[in-house]
Amino acid sequence: MPAVSCPIHRHARARPDALALWTPERRWTYAALDAAVAATGERLEATFPAGAHRIGLHLHRGTDSVLLLWALWRTGRVAVPLSTRLPSAQVHRAARRAGVGALVTRASNFHREETLRTYAPRQVVEREGESTPRPDAQSLHRRASIVFTSGSTGRPTAVLHTWANHLYSAKGSNANLPVRPGDRWLLSLPLYHVGGLAILVRCALAGGAVALPDRDASLATVLNASGATHLSLVATQLRRLLDAWEGPPPRRMRGLLLGGGPLPSPLLRRGHARGWPLLTSYGSTEMASQVTTTAPGAPLGDLHTAGRCLPHRRVRIDGDGQILVAGPTLCRGVVAEDRVRDPRVRGWYPTGDLGHLDAQGRLHVKGRADRQFVSGGENIRPEEIEAAFERIEGIERAVVVPVPDEEYGRRPVAFVQPTIGPVPTDWRDRLGTVLPGFKIPDAVHPLPEAAVQNRMKVDRDHLARRAREIKHGAAEAAAHPREAEDEGAG
């Protein structure tokens, strides 16, 4: 089996004084980072119980997380980053599903649990170390991480990646959007999502630096302070950046990679008009991040697509319009209890996403097959209605969800975020010029911040529950109007 050495160590030998990690408190050279990773690896070997091969990391992104990830990979262990947004019971369930043998966390309530051996970062992390001999090369196809999907379409899936998956993902990304020595990629995504892990590997492979922001600082503040040249953002982050940032982007900015789901057309137009170097993409946890991406400097027309297939990936569309993917970035498998299930079907992974490839080879993503629903015998695709909403001037973002309906089975309801002020009152008339009547939502509500805040993807389950609650409340008020009046008078 082919073996590869740690890229951190390789750059520490070739360019020891080059910047590897930027934080508000410290600038880590490759030599310093390599020594700390080596020392942390030794602590792991001495501290973790025998047989603890899969290690859970329940930590906010920070220096400890970065050191632990590289130390786990260097010592041949499997890193299992777990969302810090989950309550403790869900973290424990996820850890059991992934077969975690030990958990590193700062949360004090975890240390009282007897079912899972837990450690505080101070017990296993060493921030200083001595220069070390060349570490043993590890198998290219060794198991490296288990990452949970966002769960936006159901129960989160535990996806097992090899080091080869991460490596070839980084190679393909860097071939399209190069990272050079001296560049800094802002770690603006959580490390429990594959997009965050991908930033670490891209920078280490190319000899660039990761810029690690203060968790409480705004994106605009960190972008100024860190000197970042590259960014990875989801739609909500881009909107907040554009709201906070006046004038053109910093001249040093060479790429702003967008992903995590559909991007509202008004938001793309706004960012492009302001001069931000946008790149749109399509990817998945199973494919270790990007699959297709637009080229740097792409025109606005290209940005409304997901771009072309990157090196080390393959894409095709099946007879039902589903996007199929393959290549060396495709995960080793899906972890189910004590087994690892191969997700391939005749050599290809069926993503569950619908789309098509145009004559220029650009991928157009239409939406999720499992989001489509039937209303009165007619198929409704929420993404089509959302796109129609977002073409209305004054509407920045729309999310459509189905709600139960006695007559039609299910009906669409929209949650909308206006650019400024209220939702345009003539939204129904405007939609009627581009959509048939059965696709026009029964109601429009404001898009709650809780459904999008600090999320890679919109929480559609939350919105569906909210839509049902609103409809139920309206029905109750209609059935008992006198009670509603009395409550309002109080």
The predicted model scores a pTM of 0.87
Averaged pLDDT, 100-109: 89
Looking at the structure, do residues 57 and 73 belong to the same domain, yes or no?
A: yes
User: Using one digit for the tens of pLDDT, what is the confidence trace for 131-150?
Assistant: 677 777 889 999 999 999 87
Averaged pLDDT, 424-428: 88
Q: Are the C-beta atoms of residues 249 and 274 closer than 8 Å to each other? A: yes
Closest CA to 86 of 68, 73, 98, 71: 98
User: Using one digit for the tens of pLDDT, what is the confidence trace for 148-160?
Assistant: 987 544 578 999 9
Over the Cα atoms of the chain, what is R_g? 24
- The pLDDT of residue 113: 53
Q: How many CB atoms lie within 10 A of CB 342?
A: 11
Residue 134 lies in a domain: yes
Looking at the structure, do residues 356 and 280 belong to the same domain, yes or no?
A: yes
Looking at the structure, do residues 407 and 264 belong to the same domain, yes or no?
A: no
Looking at the structure, do residues 166 and 287 belong to the same domain, yes or no?
A: yes
Looking at the structure, do residues 300 and 388 belong to the same domain, yes or no?
A: no
- The pLDDT of residue 458: 81
User: Using one digit for the tens of pLDDT, what is the confidence trace for 44-88?
Assistant: 999 998 889 999 999 999 999 999 999 999 999 999 999 998 888
Residue 236 in this model has a pLDDT that exceeds 70: yes
- The pLDDT of residue 189: 93
Q: Which of 367, 384, 408 represents a domain boundary (last residue)?
A: 367
Q: Are the C-beta atoms of residues 38 and 74 closer than 8 Å to each other? A: yes
Read off the CATH number of the domain in which 209 is found: 3.40.50.12780
Confidence of residue 183 (pLDDT cuts 50, 70, 90): very high
Looking at the structure, do residues 124 and 252 belong to the same domain, yes or no?
A: yes
Closest CA to 250 of 273, 268, 226: 226
Identify which has the larger pLDDT, 38 or 216. 38
Could you identify the residue written with the tokens 């929209």? 414
- The pLDDT of residue 256: 98
Residue 489 lies in a domain: no
Read off the CATH number of the domain in which 445 is found: 3.30.300.30
Residue 384 lies in a domain: yes
Highest mean pLDDT among 107-116, 199-208, 236-245: 199-208
| Beta partners for residue 399, in sequence order | 415
User: Using one digit for the tens of pLDDT, what is the confidence trace for 215-231?
Assistant: 888 999 999 999 999 99
Looking at the structure, do residues 354 and 379 belong to the same domain, yes or no?
A: no
Residue 306 lies in a domain: yes
Residue 19 lies in a domain: yes
Residue 488 lies in a domain: no
Residue 360 lies in a domain: yes
Closest CA to 291 of 351, 204, 371, 230: 351
- Terminus-to-terminus CA distance in the chain, angstroms? 75
Looking at the structure, do residues 238 and 198 belong to the same domain, yes or no?
A: yes
Q: Which domain holds residue 67?
A: 3-367
- The pLDDT of residue 481: 56
Q: What is the mean pLDDT of the chain?
A: 90
Looking at the structure, do residues 78 and 173 belong to the same domain, yes or no?
A: yes
User: Using one digit for the tens of pLDDT, what is the confidence trace for 370-423?
Assistant: 888 999 888 898 999 998 998 888 888 899 999 999 888 999 999 998 888 888
Q: Which of 367, 383, 407 represents a domain boundary (last residue)?
A: 367
User: Using one digit for the tens of pLDDT, what is the confidence trace for 267-314?
Assistant: 899 999 999 999 999 999 999 999 999 999 999 999 999 999 999 999
Q: Are the C-beta atoms of residues 235 and 258 closer than 8 Å to each other? A: yes
Residue 138 lies in a domain: yes
Q: Which of 329, 347, 367 represents a domain boundary (last residue)?
A: 367
Averaged pLDDT, 428-447: 92
Closest CA to 424 of 460, 400, 398, 402: 398
Averaged pLDDT, 434-446: 93
Tokens of 264: 């509202």
If DSSP states are collapsed to H, E and C, what string results for 312-366?
CCEEEECCCCEEEEECCCCCCEEEECCEEECCCECCEEEEEEEEEECCCCCEEEE
| Beta partners for residue 289, in sequence order | 284
Confidence of residue 489 (pLDDT cuts 50, 70, 90): very low
Averaged pLDDT, 103-125: 82
Looking at the structure, do residues 258 and 377 belong to the same domain, yes or no?
A: no
Q: Distance between CA atoms of 33 and 209, rounded to whole angstroms? A: 11
Looking at the structure, do residues 42 and 151 belong to the same domain, yes or no?
A: yes
Count structural domains, the chain. 2
- The pLDDT of residue 454: 57
Averaged pLDDT, 120-126: 95
Looking at the structure, do residues 429 and 286 belong to the same domain, yes or no?
A: no
